[in-house]
Amino acid sequence: MKRIVIFASGSGSNAENIINFFKHTKTAEVTHVLCNNKQAKVFERCKKLKTKCLHFFKEDFYTSDTVLNILKKEADFIILAGFLWRIPQKIVAAFPQKIINIHPALLPKYGGKGMYGMHVHQAVKDNNEIETGITIHYVNENYDEGAVIFQSKTVVHVKDTPATIAGKIQLLEQRYFPEIIQEVILNTHE
């Protein structure tokens, strides 16, 4: 049974979906959710799900080894589920090909610093894209540049708004993210 630690910054809908998915498998379990935002709704979700959710500060992540030490003790895989900070090199180095992120666009389009959530959907709309989707990828030391594991597309209609695009993306995230995480875990040979 592999151990997953999820990083989240916001509402935690993807974190909840992943936690619930792995409660019904023998592949892995979510041991902790780590969050950099004290006001994030993910804390409420984790409480209901009886999953440990810990807050951490920027220094714990970038300057000290506080977060790294938690990960070394509690994680085989790290999942970024709406987490907005760039992962420090020391964590990337400690977990090669074991950190997975989901991005709400078809990378390499609409990736990089500042491209998250509605910023992405607005850019897709502003550029009159006819399709968008999700990209599940490995994490390296740069925003959204790790190797692509999986992509799924959806059509963007002329009448779609950033909000309707967000809804389509969330459906893809909920459907595919836990399954792809499980596939990666099952296909990783130590």
Catalytic amino acids? 103
Q: Give the DSSP letter string of 66-117.
A: HHHHHHHHH-SEEEESS--SPPPHHHHHHSTT-EEEEESS-TTTT-STT--H
Look at the block and give the residue holding tokens 């714990």.
60
CA 121-108-80 angle, to 5 degrees, is 70
What's CA 70's distance to the chain center, in Å? 18
